[in-house]
């Protein structure tokens, strides 16, 4: 990985006290991964992929790091565990105290077991694209060739047509 790579990360939570959890997560991310260069506004959204009466808080960050993608993932998972995340391997998606998703790492493309960058469903998720568009609207998806803002508009256009 190139020195000073930019990681676009999404924070999500619907259990506990998400704003406080995000503050703790950001502190840990800066200690473990790199400097936060940009932060989106908070987006409250409904759950996708499962039924829940709880709203999710989502926030995007851009971090600058010298770490390899696998190390960014390893440390992110460690931060999730430290903040109380319990993962059920191959289990159903459900409510969570914290979720740290790596959306993009510059123009890097990684397809390895356990790590896919760009995030494979990023372009289908308004809850990820909305916060990302707050801070990096012109950032281009390396596989789709579209900017974050264009992907968000494409997604909304598809919803309007449905």
Active site residues: 85, 96, 99, 101
Helix, strand, coil percent values for the chain (each to nearest 5): 35, 25, 40
Distance in angstroms (rounded) separating the CA atoms of residues 59 and 26: 11
What is the sign of the dihedral through the CA atoms of 77, 60, 71 and 28?
negative
Tally the C-alpha atoms within 13 A of residue 152's C-alpha that lie toward its C-beta: 17
């Amino acid at each position: 990985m190139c020195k000073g790579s930019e990681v676009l990360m999404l924070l999500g939570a619907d259990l506990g006290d998400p704003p406080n959890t995000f503050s703790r997560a950001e502190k840990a991310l800066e200690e473990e991964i790199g400097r936060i260069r940009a932060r989106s506004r908070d987006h409250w959204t409904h759950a996708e992929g499962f039924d829940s009466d709880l709203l999710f808080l989502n926030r995007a960050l851009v971090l600058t790091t010298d770490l390899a993608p696998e190390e960014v993932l390893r440390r992110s998972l460690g931060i999730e565990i430290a903040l109380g995340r319990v993962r059920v391997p191959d289990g159903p998606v459900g409510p969570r105290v914290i979720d740290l998703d790596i959306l993009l790492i510059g123009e890097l493309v990684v397809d390895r077991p356990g790590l896919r960058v760009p995030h494979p469903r990023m372009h289908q998720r308004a809850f990820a694209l909305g916060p990302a568009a707050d801070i990096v609207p012109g950032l281009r998806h390396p596989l789709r060739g579209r900017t974050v803002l264009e992907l968000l508009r494409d997604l909304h256009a598809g919803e309007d047509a449905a």
